[in-house]
Amino acid sequence: MDLSILWYLIPSVIMFACGVYGFVTRKNMIAILISLELILNSADLNFVIFNRFLFPGSMEGMVFTLFAIAIAAAETAIAIAIIINIYRSIGEMNIRLTNKMKN
């Protein structure tokens, strides 16, 4: 039995779908952020998988995954800072209730 590209892609796809599902359905902003991480992670995984199976010998996929991780980290940090800030000012994490720029 070979571990072909497909084997690796399937979990990635499912992870991605779960991320989408979570992003769409969750109300808590942190939960949304978690879903977002899932999506990002699935994309990262894909980069790597394609790099490995389709373009062995080069390493663009990996390099871009590295960049993506860095950016994801930055993004998460900022997002959490904002979320906490919002929580501080309105005491609420529900995304449905944070629809005004000013309170």
Q: Does 21 bind other proteins (CB under 8 A)?
A: yes
Nearest-approach distance from CB 46 to other proteins, in angstroms = 10
82 binds other proteins (CB under 8 A): yes
Q: Is 103 in the site for other proteins (CB under 8 A)?
A: no
Cβ neighbourhood burial of 8 (10 Å; 0-12, 13-18, 19+): middle
* Residue 90 engages other proteins in binding (rule: CB under 8 A): no
Binding of residue 43 to other proteins (CB under 8 A):
no
Please state the separation of Cα 30 from the chain's center in Å: 12
Q: Is the distance from CB of 32 to CB of 22 less than 8 angstroms?
A: yes
